[in-house]
Amino acid sequence: MKLIGIILFLFSSWMVASDHSHDHMDHSDMMHHSHEGHAHEELVDGEKLEVNPERFDKFVATLSNAQVAVVSVKGMVCDFCARGIEKTFQKDKNVKKIDVDLSQGKVLVAFDKGFDINFEDIKKKILANGQNATGMQVVSI
C-alpha cells in the first residue's frame, strides 16, 4: 500500500508540475501573437486537410511567417509511443514547433517559410521512432 501511495504521489506531483509548466509556456506565447482563422479545412488546390481544427488552430496561433507540414503517420496509437517523434524533431534546429494529433494520426511540424521541407527527411525522423509517415501536406501560415 505504501508503495502505491508513493507512486501515486510522485505521479500526481509530476503532473501538477508538468501542467504548470505547460500553462506558463502557452500563456507567454499568446502574449506575442494574434490568433486569426486558418485554412484547416481546405487547401488552395481543394484538397481536404484532415486535422483536428481546434488543435491545428492552437498550434498555428503562435506562428507567423511559417509553414506547417501536416504529416500522416501510421502506427501512432499512443501518447507515450509518440513522445520520441517530438524529441527527434526537437533536435532539428530548423523546426520551430511540433505537435501530435493522435485522433487524426497526424504530426504537425512548423518550419520557417523559406525552408525547403523534405518529406524523405521527415519520413526518416518518423521511422526513427518506429512509425511510418505515409503522406504530407504543407500549409503556409
Partner 1 sequence: MGIYRYILFFYIIIASTNIEARPISYSGGSTLMMFSDNMKDSIYYHFSPTYKYSIGIESVKDNYLNNDYSLLRATYLINRKNTQYSQRNLYINAGLSINDTSNNFYGIHGDWETRRWFVGFGFKKLNNKIIDYDQKHLQLGVAPYLGEYGDLHTWLMIKTKKNSLNDDWYTYPVLKFFKGNVLVEFGYNDETEWDAHFMYRF
Q: Please tell me whether residue 130 adopts helix, strand or coil conformation.
A: coil
The CB-of-128 to partner 1 minimum distance in angstroms stands at: 4
Is the CB of 6 or the CB of 140 nearer to partner 1? 6
Is the CB of 19 or the CB of 41 nearer to partner 1? 19
Strands 66-74 and 106-112: antiparallel
Is the CB of 8 or the CB of 39 nearer to partner 1? 8
3-state secondary structure 55-123: HHHHHHCCCCCEEEEEEEEECCCCHHHHHHHHHHHHCCCCEEEEEEECCCCEEEEEEECCCCCCHHHHH
The CB-of-82 to partner 1 minimum distance in angstroms stands at: 6
Is the CB of 90 or the CB of 140 nearer to partner 1? 90
Is the CB of 31 or the CB of 78 nearer to partner 1? 78
The CB-of-79 to partner 1 minimum distance in angstroms stands at: 5
Residue 96: phi, psi to the nearest 5?
Answer: -85, -30
Q: Residue with C-alpha cell 526513427? A: 128
The CB-of-57 to partner 1 minimum distance in angstroms stands at: 14
The CB-of-108 to partner 1 minimum distance in angstroms stands at: 10
- The span from the CA of 106 to the CA of 91, in Å, is 19
Q: Which residues bind partner 1 (CB under 8 A)?
A: 1, 3-4, 6-8, 10-11, 13-15, 18, 22, 52, 55, 74-85, 87-88, 99-103, 105, 127-132
